[in-house]
Amino acid sequence: MKLNYKRTLLVGMAFFLITAFWQAYDAIVPLILTNHFGLSQTASGGIMSLDNVLAVFLLPIFGTISDKVNTKYGKRTPFIFVGTIISVVSFMVLTFIDNYQLARVVEAGASDVETAFDITVNNPLPLVGFIATLLVMLVAMATFRSPAVALMPDVTIKPLRSKANAIINLTGTAGGIIVLVLGMIFATSKDHYMQYTGYVFAVVCVMLVGFIVFLLTVKERKWADEMQQEAKKYGIDDSPASDLQTDGSRVGKLSSAEFKSLILILASVALWYIGYNSITSKYSVYATNVLGFDFNLTLIIAQAAAIVAYIPVGIIASKIGRKKSILAGVIMLAAAFFIGMFVTSSTPEFIMFPVFILAGIGWATINVNSFPMAVELARNGNTGKYTGYYYTSSMAAQIVAPILSGVLYDLMGMENVFFAFGCVFVCFSFVTMLFVKHGDSKPIEKKSAIEHLDVD
């Protein structure tokens, strides 16, 4: 049983362009809302949660729809094609609207958030247009996120999915790092009143490269059929064992124990995403306005740490199991956020680097294993549906994170609660994950040292 690394890497190009988009979105949209439109942290957090509000409803819908679609290009590819085209066009339009607002702010000689807000109140049409375009872009992204992620388990046999998910995340992280490098080149953290059109155009080009590689190389239907044949060869069914009845028939429902584990997995996902997203969605603002740090460099270091960790984490999980790996990752992530509480504007910037290295490794450990645990419980043909469940949980959490954290920032000061908020919720996820009993991987005995590199 051998993982096809090249095939997995090519499938991961869809995740590559998704990650590139969200890295740029999380970096500049909060800055635009706060510095160009003069919105408060609470209002900015509310708008930043729009993608998650839409995702709660749209991801399971499009995941389920893609399960039932059958075209000559496959189940997932048509969604990836349409969603990508609309999202990149909308992203560019978004910057043109921002340029118009920025011109008004600069013309008025604005030098603070309050003045920018007054300009927005006097003529709210640019903000309305910005939010409307944002909605189009976010809906487009939501249409293909579940199908894109579901493609990996579609073409990967069950025991290899943690390792394959490591490759997928590695590919996605590469997209994120490229965008962070672009952020450094365009100095997105240096000027509160800069135009982002050139930066976004560069990001869109990166997305389109991943998109074109995906379209030219991925043979979805062929690879999915080959996976099914491989599963039959090894006697691996695509449904949990509890589906099998004594007469050989199947039922479509989870057992009560499996359902409890699914709920606990989704609760854990929600809790660690609340903690993690509260940091990532506003770190550009926190680093720029509170610490005076270059957020791009710090995030690149975190992403680099994750890249180094992905494949070892996948191998370790195949030996000790997904649950233990996740619990270890949660401890690392909580520890990183706890240490971050003591970093201030007077702290040397390099001190933040090991903090984010630890966070990157912890988050990689969690991400590689949590999604396979959820789809492990999926029935044959319902991978998109369970992918939707997974992302509904994470997106619902990310609705709560920016709004709740934004309120606390406004009430108590961002510098006082930024890392503490994330740390507390990550700790909560450790408790819920302890009680998960299903969805773990079964360690497979290796026959040789070489197999440790290539098989699960």
Domain annotation covers residue 456: no
Residue 361 region by backbone torsions, left for phi larger than 0, else alpha for psi between -120 and 50, else beta: alpha
Could you tell me which residue, 386 or 94, shows the higher pLDDT? 94
Task: Confirm if 238 and 383 have CB atoms less than 8 A apart.
Answer: no
Q: What pLDDT is recorded for position 455?
A: 35
**Domain containing residue 402: CATH number:** 1.20.1250.20
Q: What pLDDT is recorded for position 422?
A: 93
- What CA–CA distance (Å, rounded) separates 360 from 306? 5
Tokens of 339: 């240490």
Identify the burial level of 136 via C-beta atoms within 10 angstroms of its C-beta, where 0-12 means exposed, 13-18 middle and 19 or more buried.
Answer: middle
Domain annotation covers residue 159: yes
User: What is the domain range of residue 195?
Assistant: 5-241+253-443
pLDDT band at 317; cut points 50, 70, 90: confident
Number of domains observed in the structure of the chain: 1
pLDDT band at 244; cut points 50, 70, 90: very low
Query: What pLDDT digit, counting tens, does each position of 67-81 carry?
Result: 888 899 999 999 999
Domain annotation covers residue 194: yes
Q: What pLDDT is recorded for position 269?
A: 95
Domain annotation covers residue 453: no
Task: Find the range with the poorest average confidence among 39-53, 230-244, 345-359, 433-447.
Answer: 230-244
Q: What pLDDT is recorded for position 118?
A: 87
Q: What proportion of the chain, given as a percentage, has pLDDT over 90?
A: 41
Q: What pLDDT is recorded for position 33?
A: 92
Q: What proportion of the chain, given as a percentage, has pLDDT over 70?
A: 91
pLDDT band at 451; cut points 50, 70, 90: very low
Residue 196 has phi, psi (to 5 degrees) of -105, 5
Domain annotation covers residue 448: no
Tokens of 439: 């969805």
Task: Confirm if 154 and 227 have CB atoms less than 8 A apart.
Answer: yes
- What CA–CA distance (Å, rounded) separates 239 from 254? 10
Task: Find the range with the poorest average confidence among 66-75, 102-111, 170-179.
Answer: 102-111
Tokens of 50: 């729009």
Q: What pLDDT is recorded for position 234?
A: 79
How does the average pLDDT of the chain come out, rounded?
A: 85
pLDDT band at 111; cut points 50, 70, 90: low
Task: Confirm if 168 and 5 have CB atoms less than 8 A apart.
Answer: no
Domain annotation covers residue 82: yes
Q: What pLDDT is recorded for position 242?
A: 42
Domain annotation covers residue 224: yes
Closest CA to 1 of 229, 218, 225, 224: 229
Domain annotation covers residue 233: yes
Q: What is the pTM of this model?
A: 0.75
